[in-house]
């Protein structure tokens, strides 16, 4: 837990233009960007250098701050200072970099407690000092966050959390097929009868999905591979030994159960709901992904298509270019789903706290509407750790009944995070 010692001299008043706005909208409230230089301070225990890097990174993510990079900082401090310390004559650095704030920090550890003394000098030369302590393993992240919040004079933006918005009392029809599983595997990956079952559930729920992850992984993966190649029979599945170790299926690959394709609508908001019951191996945390895809240009043949045409990657590559192009064109027209590329991902974490049925629901995207490059959606139920058995029912995808108009996509708030260049629709 963060325990702040001493007064917070950096907060509220150092930069009055930044203090006192609404949480979460720092960018709009900031009147100007403040250029900051963070010095490396090589303390005896090696904590300081990483702290300086973390602080630069965290400040850089904040719209209100512009940070001089580490290499420039090191080169300048070596070039500008000889007998005097940079913090004793900060004007040289201010003039060389255009920065108006100089920060340096000294970290010391006593037992599990880390104490960080941060000194800040604002141009022309007014130095303040603040002490922070933390005794958790995440001390660097905790203290950096506190420093940045103090510098900005406001709490850091917190992303939307599950539970922020109450679940609507009434939805329209689900957009996915057979989320109740009452029609068995219709609308979902087929049962493999080893890890994935559609069967009569308890508690008058009709049919439910049962997923096992407490299995030896290699025999199970061999079986799935044989199924994919038509060399195994679901109706006559192998007996696979149970395994609840870290080496188990749940400890490594986990089990995915995917829905059929759902046409996406850009600008739309959705809700995903699910009922989950952990039956053997308590505290299951299935993640129910909703993955977004686009129809992307193909530059080769899908492995299933190769097999269907009695081709291998080598024999395909040996064909004349015209023939390859024609084959790809014909196959993408016949099987567009094989060439879809993932371009969006969100998930509902169903962290069950009891061994009874629990209901989960959340809207997505967390902010704004669905990006316009998403053409298809697919629900992907992922069960993994702890190894055990999980029942799922009523996994429904709905259009948000509260939404009246399409919403624009909200871009990532972290600078440098961009949509991948290959995720453009064809």
CB-nearer residue toward Ca ion: 145 or 205: 205
Q: How far is the CB of 393 from Ca ion (least distance, A)?
A: 4
Q: What are phi and psi of 107, to 5 degrees?
A: -110, 135
> SS3 for the chain, per residue?
CEEEECCCCCCCCCCCCCCCCCCCCHHHHCCCCEEEEECCCCCCCCHHHHHHHHHHHHHHCCCCEEECCHHHHHHHHHHHCCCCCCCCCCHHHHHHHCCCEEEEEEEEEECCEEEEEEEEEECCCEEEEEEEEECCCCHHHHHHHHHHHHHHCCCCCCCCCCCCCCCCCCCCCCCCCCCCCCCCCCCECCCCCCCEEEEECCCCCCEEEEEECCECHHHHHHHHHHHHCCCCCCCCCCCCCECCCCCCCCCCCCEEEEECCEECCCCCCEEEEEEEEEEECCCCCCEEEEEEEEECCCCCCCHHHHHHCCCCHHHHHCCCHHHHHHHHHHHHHHCHHHHEEEEEEEEEECCCCCCCCEEEEEEECCCECCCCCCCEEEEEEEECCCCCEEEEEEEEEEECCCCCCCCCECCCCCCCCCCCCCCCCC
- Of the two residues 156 and 180, which places its CB atom closer to Ca ion in the complex? 180
Q: Which residue is nearest to Ca ion (CB)?
A: 206
For the bound state, the minimum distance from the C-beta of residue 258 to Ca ion, rounded and expressed in Å, comes to: 18
Q: How far is the CB of 401 from Ca ion (least distance, A)?
A: 22
Compare residues 46 and 206 and give the one whose CB is closer to Ca ion.
206
**Minimum distance from CB of 23 to Ca ion (Å)?**
41
Please report how close the Cβ of residue 263 comes to Ca ion at its closest, in angstroms. 24
**Minimum CB–partner distance for residue 286 and Ca ion (Å):** 16
Query: Which residue lies nearer to Ca ion by CB, 98 or 206?
Result: 206
- Chain residues that interact with Ca ion, rule: CB under 5 A: 180-182, 205-206, 393
**Between 148 and 391, whose beta carbon lies closer to Ca ion?**
391
Residue 264: both structure tokens together: 């996406």
What's the closest the beta carbon of residue 180 comes to Ca ion, in angstroms? 4
The minimum distance between CB 261 and Ca ion, in angstroms, equals: 22
Question: Is the separation of the CB atoms in 207 and 198 below 8 Å?
Answer: yes
Nearer to Ca ion, 63 or 182 (CB): 182
Closer to Ca ion at the Cβ: 181 or 289?
181
Question: Nearest approach, Cβ of 36 to Ca ion (angstroms)?
Answer: 56
Q: What minimum distance in Å lies between the beta carbon of 179 and Ca ion?
A: 9
CB-wise, 194 or 392, nearer to Ca ion? 392
Taking each helix axis as running N to C, give the angle between helix 47-60 and helix 139-152, from 0 to 180 degrees, rounded to the nearest 10. 50
Distance (Å, rounded) from C-alpha 152 to C-alpha 11? 7
Q: Closest CB to Ca ion among 257 and 264?
A: 257
**Helix segments in 132-240, DSSP class H:** 139-152, 217-228
Residue placing its CB nearer to Ca ion in the complex, 204 or 231: 204
Q: Is the preceding omega at residue 124 within 30 degrees of 0, hence cis? A: yes
């Amino acid at each position: 837990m963060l325990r702040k010692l001493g007064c917070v001299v950096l907060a509220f008043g150092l930069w009055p233009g930044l203090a006192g706005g609404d949480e979460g909208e720092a960018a709009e409230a900031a009147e100007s960007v403040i250029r900051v230089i963070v010095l490396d301070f090589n303390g005896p225990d090696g904590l300081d250098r990483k702290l300086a890097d973390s602080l630069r990174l965290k400040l850089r993510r904040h719209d209100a701050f512009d940070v001089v990079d580490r290499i420039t900082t090191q080169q300048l401090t070596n070039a500008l200072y000889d007998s005097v310390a940079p913090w004793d004559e900060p004007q040289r650095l201010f003039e060389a970099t255009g920065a108006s704030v100089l920060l340096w920090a000294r970290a010391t550890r006593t037992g599990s407690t880390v104490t960080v003394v941060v000194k800040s000098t604002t141009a022309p030369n007014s130095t303040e000092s603040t002490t922070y302590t933390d005794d958790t393993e995440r001390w660097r992240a905790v203290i950096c966050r506190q420093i940045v919040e103090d510098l900005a004079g406001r709490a850091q933006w917190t992303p939307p959390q599950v539970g922020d918005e109450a679940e609507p009392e009434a939805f329209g029809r689900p957009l996915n097929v057979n989320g109740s599983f009452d029609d068995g595997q219709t609308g979902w990956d087929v049962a493999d009868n080893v890890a994935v079952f559609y069967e009569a559930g308890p508690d008058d729920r009709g049919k439910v999905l049962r997923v096992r992850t407490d299995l030896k992984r290699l025999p199970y993966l061999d079986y799935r591979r044989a199924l994919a190649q038509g060399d195994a029979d679901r109706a006559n599945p192998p007996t696979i030994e149970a395994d609840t170790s870290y080496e188990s299926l749940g400890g490594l690959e986990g089990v995915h159960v995917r829905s059929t394709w759902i046409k996406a609508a850009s600008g739309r908001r959705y809700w995903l709901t699910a009922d989950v019951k952990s039956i053997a191996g308590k505290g299951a945390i299935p993640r129910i992904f909703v993955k977004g895809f686009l129809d992307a240009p193909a530059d080769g043949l899908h492995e299933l298509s190769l097999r269907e045409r009695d081709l291998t990657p080598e024999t395909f590559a040996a064909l004349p270019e015209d023939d390859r192009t024609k084959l790809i064109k014909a196959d993408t027209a016949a099987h567009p789903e094989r060439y879809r590329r993932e371009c969006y991902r969100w998930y509902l974490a169903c962290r069950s706290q009891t061994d009874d049925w629990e209901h989960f629901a959340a809207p997505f995207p967390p902010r704004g509407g669905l990006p316009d490059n998403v053409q298809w959606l697919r629900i992907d139920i992922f069960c993994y750790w702890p190894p055990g058995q999980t029942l799922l029912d009523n996994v429904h995808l709905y259009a948000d009944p509260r939404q009246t108009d399409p919403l624009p996509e909200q871009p990532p708030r972290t600078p440098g995070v961009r949509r991948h260049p290959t995720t453009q629709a064809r």
